[in-house]
Structure 1
Amino acid sequence: MIKIKDLTLVQWIPKILQAVLNISLVFLALILSVLLVQELIIFSKILLQEENIDYQLFLANILLFFLYFEFITMIVKYFKEDYHFPLRYFLYIGITAMIRLIIVDHDHPINTLLYSLVILILIIGYFIMNITPRERPDSRWFFKK
């Protein structure tokens, strides 16, 4: 095995991959931040027009704004929680995305019902996640004699 300053190549590979992942997430956060600002500009344009305001478009843009916001928040939490994505943020993003779909594509009642069921399932999953203890009991007691 190749040794570089008391670390083997096998020990360096995860460190290199973690660095690539971290750099990629920083770039993604920057891109999402630019898109977030673009959404704010779109909000101001929609609000400043004196013609008929399309409220569905406005609500869809607000929810898209929150999707960007939640993804950026999730990336921040990833770095704050020692390289771990909290599951609850994925649930928040899923719920927000499904609400946006209902607002944008509500022409078909069956699809709206299915989207609503997906939201219900995500909320139930969030509830189950919150009532489940974060610390798992130590399983070593089972093997003690």
Structure 2
Amino acid sequence: MEHLKTTLKQFSFPFLLQQILNASLIFLAVILIYLLGKELIYFAQMTFLHETSLGEFLEKILIFFLYFEFISMIVKYFRENYHFPMRYFLYIGITAMIRLIIVDHHNPVHTLLYAGVILTLMICYYIINKTPVERPGR
């Protein structure tokens, strides 16, 4: 009887939602790996053809790292027992803002605001690292 209760508990609604989330993240990871591969092929073409500007090359490098960070975050999600560490979102935000500054640096006021966003994200990262982590059940 206890085994039946355990089995039924495993097929609860939260369990079903967790499985849907896991399958969706695996599907997303496959798509991101494909796009990461396309960026690597593009880098190879840029290296041999030399037909791109420095700005375009830097933009593609930062896009590559965004794909890489998202894939790393999905891997970390499964390793951390279905938990996204907040610092990974901060890493991605900082990288995205740096990419935006490199790509769109024509307006000094916008560049200053983007730098302020990066500073804010870095302060958040510092606070997260200095705050003791207290998780229930540990």
TM-score (norm 2): 0.89
Equivalents in 2 of 1:114, 1:19: separation in Å?
40
What is the deviation of 1:8?
A: 6.2
Supply the AA of the counterpart residue of 2:15.
K
User: Which residue of the partner structure matches residue 120 of structure 2?
Assistant: 121
Query: Per-residue displacement from partner, 1:97-144 (whole Å, max 9, x unpaired)?
Result: 0000001111111111111000000000000111111127xxxxxxxx
* TM-score computed with the length of structure 1 as normaliser: 0.85
Structure 1 residue 32 and structure 2 residue 26: aligned? no
Partner of 1:139: none
Bigger Rg, which one: 1
Please name the residue that 2:96 is paired with: 97
Give the gaps of 5 or more residues in structure 1. 137-145
The size of the alignment, in residue pairs, is: 131
* One-letter identity of the residue aligned with 1:56: G
* Structure 1: 4+ residue segments shifted above 4 A: none
The CA RMSD over aligned residues, in Å, is: 1.8
User: Aligned residues: percent identity?
Assistant: 61
Structure 2: runs of 5+ lacking an equivalent: none
- Structure with a larger share of its residues in helix: 2
How is 1:1-145 mapped onto 2 (pairs within 5 angstroms)? 5-6=4-5, 7=8, 12-51=12-51, 53-135=52-134
Within 1, Cα distance between the matches of 2:41 and 2:110?
A: 31
Distance change (3 Å), C-alpha of 1:50 and 1:69: closer
